[in-house]
Structure 1
Amino acid sequence: MLRVLLSYRYFILSSIKNEFKARFARSKLGGLWLVIHPLAMVLVYALILSELIQVKFPGAAIDNAYPIYLTAGVLAWFIFSETVLRSLNLFIDNANLLKKIAFPKAVLPIILLGNVLLQSLLLLGAILLVFAFLGHFPGIQILWLPLLFLVTLLLGFSIGLILGILNVFMRDIGQIVPIIMNFMFWLTPIVYTLAIIPETYRHWFAFNPMAHLAGAFQDVLLYNRAVDLSIMGVLLAVALGLLSVGAFLFKQAKAEMLDQL
């Protein structure tokens, strides 16, 4: 992997740059659309739900904490969902490259992750500006964000890689996964807190990895709390395990995938 990064670094960087430009070709606002969509969603939820969800946020730096809680969760969800959904079509979207050009296949996921990371950093910059407007400034615990970005990206890509391989052979996967992601969004404490969930059902959220990741982003950006390294270690181990499964499936099915594409 390191040899691929070094040998093809210019190709990788130019591909990330070109894909970013192509996505917003002929758009007046360009990359601003990357942050407008999620921030617009935050605004809608904040306006509609802030009065309905009367929850105290003990330890929060400001009184009007719900928009910040919501925005931090949306950032975590954006990184995860963008990685999963783009990985889902990684091989289908790059069918011509895979079939006609000889290059290390490891370059494709690196380009994908680079694009998602670039978009996520732009969104983070916009979010920090919104926080400043609200009078909230994250503390020193913001230094945990690189770890949270890494775990979220790896988890999203490992899941997306497995689904992307299956999607080559069963195209219904590409239709089902976005529906599942919609359900998963509402099963993750982003627009609501666990405090409004009956205690009988709260333990089920422990099995949702995004509940832990969204909570970690909210802890860092809203409460200025440190990350629970034991939970992050478990999630990282799960991500690496799934990534190994995906790499094994790709190695076994590579020839058949090229025929299907």
Structure 2
Amino acid sequence: MINTSTAINPHAAQPTSLVALGKSLWRNRQLIVQMTKREVVGRYQGSAFGLAWSFLNPVFMLVVYTFVFSEIFKSRWGGEGGDDSKTQFAVVLFVGMIVLSLFSEVLNRAPGLILANVNYVKKVVFPIEILPVIAMGAALFHGLISLGVLLAAFLLFNGYLHWTAVFFPLVLLPLVILIMGLAWMLASLGVFLRDVGQTIGIITTVLMFLSPVFYPVTAVPERFRPFIMSNPLTFIIEQAREVLIWGHLPNWLGLGIYTLAASVLAWAGYALFQKTRKGFADVL
């Protein structure tokens, strides 16, 4: 049930503190879960395989990666880990794709979240600040399915799993916080600047090639590495490979600093969203 104790007047100023954000998420937790489920199921509504596509898509992509990079390009990741098997490149690449897909899916949708839910702004008492959270929940669901496919493939190819894989959620958490901050920013800006949706698609495509998804950081010439390392995806992708592929513990200090910076950005994004939402109804 939608809570009606707040946001009755769409033009009223809204709280911007982290405490208010926490209260909103907790108060609307059931609504978030219900709408996330609807988002996931609705994506495949009407298709013959339905929800099974969330499993079939990553399986198909992993098979394609394995064939193309091991049989056609004869690619080898090399470097740390020392495993030069034919399938290693595809598995390492797939880790990067999981992180990249989570980032791209949420941010590409963010500028249109409010535009696609005009009724929630104008006619229905609805906590619109949870819309980016719902988008994140759906993306995390698909990321979880892809992770399951990755772990199954790694087990099949190697015969074992690294125990350090249990740290993957902690590695991903700082990125999730960062994405939420950016999603609130983009959702707000997308209402007033319709070009944001087109621009963010270009940016996420550029970041795909400027992230160590298809190549290790060590393959980048020294003079260009600072640009690659400044990419917010680089550290998370590298740490994800450390715990999933190489069996190493994550860089706790790096994750702590990343989490702190991401939290500041998340608060800034939420504050911007809350301060500008009173103008949404007028623009829409």
**CA separation in 2, counterparts of 1:2 and 1:199?**
43
Shift of 1:54: 4.1
Shift of 1:4: 3.5
Which residue number in structure 1 is paired with residue 18 of structure 2?
Answer: none
Which of 109, 118, 123 aligns to 1:86? It is 109
> For residues 149 and 31 of structure 1, do their structure 2 counterparts lie closer, same or farther at Cα, with a shift above 3 Å needed?
farther
**CA separation in 1, counterparts of 2:231 and 2:268?**
20
**CA separation in 1, counterparts of 2:210 and 2:219?**
13
Query: Which sections of structure 1, spanning at least 5 residues, go unmatched?
Result: none
**CA separation in 1, counterparts of 2:192 and 2:26?**
33
Q: TM-score, normalised by structure 2?
A: 0.83
**Equivalenced residues, count:** 261
| Equivalent AA in structure 2 for residue 251 of structure 1 | Q
Which of 81, 85, 93 aligns to 1:59? It is 81
Which residue number in structure 2 is paired with residue 245 of structure 1?
Answer: 268
Report if the CA contact (8 A) 1:46-1:70 is conserved.
Answer: no
**CA separation in 2, counterparts of 1:210 and 1:90?**
23
Q: TM-score, normalised by structure 1?
A: 0.89
| 1:96-175 matches, cutoff 5 A | 96-175=119-198
Report if the CA contact (8 A) 2:69-2:90 is conserved.
Answer: no
Shift of 1:106: 3.4
> For residues 179 and 55 of structure 1, do their structure 2 counterparts lie closer, same or farther at Cα, with a shift above 3 Å needed?
same
**CA separation in 2, counterparts of 1:87 and 1:40?**
27
Report if the CA contact (8 A) 1:83-1:160 is conserved.
Answer: yes
Report if the CA contact (8 A) 2:187-2:273 is conserved.
Answer: no
Q: Which of the two has higher C-alpha Rg? A: 2
**CA separation in 2, counterparts of 1:167 and 1:136?**
47
Which of 37, 51, 67 aligns to 1:47? It is 67
Report if the CA contact (8 A) 1:72-1:214 is conserved.
Answer: yes
Report if the CA contact (8 A) 2:54-2:142 is conserved.
Answer: yes
| Equivalent AA in structure 2 for residue 176 of structure 1 | T
Query: Which sections of structure 2, spanning at least 5 residues, go unmatched?
Result: 1-20
Matched, 1:25 2:45: yes
SS in 1 for 2:158: coil
Deviation string 1:183-224 (CA, Å, 9 cap, x unpaired) is: 110100111112322222223222111011111111111101
**CA separation in 2, counterparts of 1:255 and 1:5?**
19
Report if the CA contact (8 A) 1:87-1:157 is conserved.
Answer: no
Which residue number in structure 1 is paired with residue 243 of structure 2?
Answer: 220
| Equivalent AA in structure 2 for residue 33 of structure 1 | W
Report if the CA contact (8 A) 1:38-1:74 is conserved.
Answer: no
Shift of 1:243: 1.5
**CA separation in 1, counterparts of 2:190 and 2:270?**
15
| Equivalent AA in structure 1 for residue 230 of structure 2 | F
What CA RMSD, in Å, does the superposition of the two structures yield over aligned residues? Answer: 2.2
> For residues 205 and 136 of structure 1, do their structure 2 counterparts lie closer, same or farther at Cα, with a shift above 3 Å needed?
farther
**CA separation in 2, counterparts of 1:98 and 1:143?**
40
Which residue number in structure 2 is paired with residue 14 of structure 1?
Answer: 34
**CA separation in 1, counterparts of 2:57 and 2:120?**
30
